[in-house]
Structure 1
Amino acid sequence: MEKIIQQFLDEVKQRNQNEPEFMQAVTEVAENVIPYIVKNDIYYGQNILLRMVEPERVVFFRVPWIDDQNEIKVNRGYRIEMNSAIGPYKGGLRFHPSVNLSVLKFLAFEQVFKNSLTTLPMGGGKGGSDFDPKGKSDKEVMRFCQSFMSELFRHIGPNRDIPAGDIGVGGREIGYLFGQYKRLKNEFTGVLTGKGVSWGGSLIRPEATGYGVVYFTQKMLENIGTSLEGKKVVLSGSGNVAQYAAEKVIQLGGIVNTLSDSGGYIYDRDGINSEKLKYIMDLKNIKRGRIEEYIKQYPTAEFHAKKTPWEIPCDVAIPCATQNELHKEDALMLIKNGCVCVGEGANMPSTPEAIHEFTVNKILFAPGKASNAGGVAVSGLEMAQNSLRYNWTRDEVDTRLKNIMSDIHQSCVEYGQEDGYVNYVKGANIAGFVKVADAMLAQGVV
């Protein structure tokens, strides 16, 4: 079996050289899915996974724009349309200096499985640019978004490819992108998700990824007879996902002790309550400040510069910052300090070595393709509301989100059983694969 897996990975690596993030995502899937393929005749010999790792389409384009000093700038724009077997391409746009082909292909590949797990009819895609909105004026961001959409609009549509937000693409950016699309196409359609509620958006969409990872984490704990109530929780990040994950943990009775940004992390041993979290939201979302400013308002807390929060003793860890932020040493520290459950809020925030330590030590570990699927799930619900020309209430959307996360958990349990332990990585990969593979087989060699 190891030889079969390695032969597959060698072939993929030869085609995708210098793409480490993409190969990391493919390796994780291959190690779990290939043994399943070999045992099931319907998939064996169809090269189904080899077809899945090849994008159906890659769009790469130049994005020229003018800054406030009247200087012409040039960035790169991308859209990876990975797989449309179960529905139109669906996945976010990321504006960040780290964006490159490898990062976006890894995200698009993960999105295929994530979207499949939601049970909604959505294929997988991802896109973005190496543009950095931090430090830019609103007018600069608007000019960039308009230039970006002036090319992207040719490749997207409500029945073809529906982008959303991601790192660096929030409500402001979605608004500028949607406005330019509407202007170019002369139509008002649900081509982007994450829109404002008054112009086609869905309630709970900003909260969805953070809420979803906590709902999934709660399900994992319930599966072993406990809950989040009274549990000490460490979170990384302080953006949208981390903020709403913290909010939901607090609502469910958990104790949030940490949040972080690229400068370091804060540790509040008394717990970050709703009042303190509101201060953080204002600090990050309105003032666009740094997390270290928290200790000026709450001096009993600590700030640890240029460090991540995984050294803090906890019951539950929820990494919500970025890919590969949690390493083997961090995993060992969490295990040593009593952590029993890890739910990924970001995309692939744990390295393979860290995941190995969690698995061999029987720690509950939820991969991002399962636990952070809440965002795209509510994006799918937004698409449904756009098609119906109707808005569901906040409670209706939240109930649907909770049910979707529960269904994803159940699928992971079904396919991830290993001698009384649920291997959620294996369960998520196989469950996501089966739905897409069945659709691909039914549609022929495409």
Structure 2
Amino acid sequence: MSLLEKFIQKIKENNPNEPEFHQAVEEIAESILPFIEENERYQNKKLLERIAEPERIIMFRVPWVDDQGEIQVNKGYRIEMNSAIGPYKGGIRFHPSVNLSILKFLAFEQTFKNSLTTLPMGGGKGGSNFDPKGKSDAEIMRFCQSFMAELYRHIGPNTDIPAGDIGVGSREIGYLFGMYKKLANEFTGVLTGKGLEYGGSLIRPEATGYGVIYFVQNMLERIGESIDGKSFVISGSGNVAQFAAEKAIELGGKVLTLSDSSGYIYDENGIDEEKLEFIKQLKNEKRGRIKEYTEQYNDAQYFEDEKPWGQKCDIALPCATQNEIQKEDAQKLADNGVQAVVEGANMPSTSEAIHIFRNSGMLYSPGKASNAGGVATSGLEMSQNSLSLNWSREEVDQRLKDIMTDIHEQCVKYGKKGDEIDYMKGANIAGFVKVAEAMLAQGVV
């Protein structure tokens, strides 16, 4: 049995029935264990074993009353994964699929992602199996207040700074922050993704999507190409997908698809600024379905219960959810000669899909590198809160560009193989080194 197999076997024994967490750890271990074997400094310190074990797991019930006066009960979680380089930092997700495995995988990934930003942020993640879809504002407020009534004991501006994630936007952050402020009796930068009126940062909603495109830009510039004229297939239609599409269009790209859980739209003429604005209103204000796009633009096609990965394009951006690209989807992308797959979601590709990407010769970036723009801008919001300053849109955007360029450079440094770059290996090792060095400096704690 190889060192990797022994390591993963131990992870599975210690964390049974957590497939998403196993997948995330194995993806990292494939790169890190050989690196440790080659570097005596990191040997016999159980560094990866320690990183893969959360420092703290908080689980709690969330009772709340719906509009019919019925008491409902949900589960609440916060995974405080690693604080070696800073306070825990990571989103809160409200979605029926939320469980311990998914949150541990997200917190584990977040540790490496935050390390890549070079900002002083550790890794964490939290959430609930509460589904905000179909709930009234009053129900969502009552749920958020009950959730924070327990969570507030465990977070703080120098301890753990949550942000938004799937199902947690500016509305939910506002309700959570209001309850924290009341319970803690202090106005601090304990949450990011806040409204501009009370300490939020410009560019935060756009940051993950913009950051994905800035990373694509760096990848293409390295090989002497640009985004101008490239065609994009994008999954999802939330913030990440919308703003990745916006920035791609701005830089001369042609966006062909967007999707939701019911299917995807394909517009061979390209989704331009006007069409994208329609989608933003449809999804953000009306909370409608993506298929309504074809009612407005008759030349577009709608594919129900399908994913867009069979459509020909230059660049594929999975921006929806974990494991949305399966082995057969990856093969379609490879067969169509896709130049690059750049992840906007967290772990949207299965292990089998990633092997196809890496063996096909296409450029591939894992989410921990290419979608780090969101948490990077959360870090910039933390800085603004600490300094009691508000930076301009241009200043935040430039800092975001610089961070994504720096992440790309780290991936190149640790992933270079001849003339090619293994972005997955580069991102994993670069993220590991900073955390490992901090852990070595702090002793066995």
- TM bucket, shorter chain: over 0.9
What pairs with 1:398-437 in structure 2 (closer than 5 Å)? 398-437=397-436
Q: Distance in 2 between matches of 1:365 and 1:7?
A: 27
Give the match for residue 268 of structure 1: 267
What pairs with 1:237-276 in structure 2 (closer than 5 Å)? 237-276=236-275
Give the match for residue 283 of structure 1: 282
Which residue identity lines up with residue 208 of structure 2 in the other structure?
T
What pairs with 1:165-314 in structure 2 (closer than 5 Å)? 165-314=164-313
Give the match for residue 97 of structure 1: 96
Which portions of structure 1, spanning 4 or more consecutive aligned residues, are displaced by more than 4 angstroms? none
Checking the alignment, whether the CA contact within 8 Å between 1:362 and 1:421 is kept in structure 2 is no
Q: Distance in 1 between matches of 2:27 and 2:127?
A: 24
Shift of 1:4: 1.0
Give the match for residue 358 of structure 1: 357
Which residue identity lines up with residue 425 of structure 1 in the other structure?
M
For the pair 1:61 / 2:60, whether they are aligned, the reply is: yes
CA distances 1:258-315 after superposition (whole Å, capped 9, x unpaired):
0000010000000000000000000000000000000000010000000000011000
Q: Distance in 1 between matches of 2:14 and 2:60?
A: 21
Give the match for residue 34 of structure 1: 33
SS in 1 for 2:264: strand
Shift of 1:138: 0.3
Identity across matched positions, percent: 69
CA distances 1:383-436 after superposition (whole Å, capped 9, x unpaired):
000000000000000000000000000000000012321110000000000000
410-419 or 157-166, which deviates more: 410-419
Q: Distance in 1 between matches of 2:436 and 2:117?
A: 15
Q: Distance in 1 between matches of 2:217 and 2:325?
A: 21
Checking the alignment, whether the CA contact within 8 Å between 1:258 and 1:265 is kept in structure 2 is yes
Checking the alignment, whether the CA contact within 8 Å between 1:92 and 1:126 is kept in structure 2 is yes
Q: Distance in 2 between matches of 1:404 and 1:322?
A: 24
Shift of 1:7: 1.0
Give the match for residue 347 of structure 1: 346
Structure 2, unpaired ranges of 5+: none
TM-score under structure 1 normalisation?
Answer: 0.99
Which residue identity lines up with residue 142 of structure 1 in the other structure?
M
CA distances 1:103-150 after superposition (whole Å, capped 9, x unpaired):
000000000000000000000000000000000000000000000000
Q: Distance in 2 between matches of 1:20 and 1:227?
A: 38
Give the match for residue 111 of structure 2: 112
Q: Distance in 1 between matches of 2:363 and 2:117?
A: 20
SS in 1 for 2:54: coil
Which residue identity lines up with residue 92 of structure 1 in the other structure?
G
Which residue identity lines up with residue 102 of structure 1 in the other structure?
S
SS in 2 for 1:326: coil
What pairs with 1:311-326 in structure 2 (closer than 5 Å)? 311-326=310-325
Give the match for residue 384 of structure 2: 385
Q: Distance in 1 between matches of 2:226 and 2:357?
A: 19
Give the match for residue 45 of structure 1: 44
Q: Distance in 2 between matches of 1:138 and 1:227?
A: 44
Which residue identity lines up with residue 58 of structure 1 in the other structure?
I
Shift of 1:236: 0.1
Shift of 1:37: 0.4
Q: Distance in 2 between matches of 1:12 and 1:335?
A: 32
Which residue identity lines up with residue 390 of structure 2 in the other structure?
N
Give the match for residue 153 of structure 1: 152
SS in 2 for 1:42: helix
Which residue identity lines up with residue 249 of structure 2 in the other structure?
I
Give the match for residue 83 of structure 2: 84
CA distances 1:55-89 after superposition (whole Å, capped 9, x unpaired):
00000000000000100000000000000000000
SS in 2 for 1:69: coil
Structure 1, unpaired ranges of 5+: none
Q: Distance in 2 between matches of 1:139 and 1:48?
A: 45
Give the match for residue 3 of structure 2: 4
Checking the alignment, whether the CA contact within 8 Å between 1:233 and 1:256 is kept in structure 2 is yes
Shift of 1:328: 1.3
Shift of 1:335: 1.5
333-342 or 262-271, which deviates more: 333-342
SS in 1 for 2:93: strand
Shift of 1:338: 2.0
Q: CA RMSD in A?
A: 0.6
SS in 1 for 2:347: coil
Q: Distance in 2 between matches of 1:348 and 1:227?
A: 26
Q: Distance in 2 between matches of 1:7 and 1:130?
A: 33
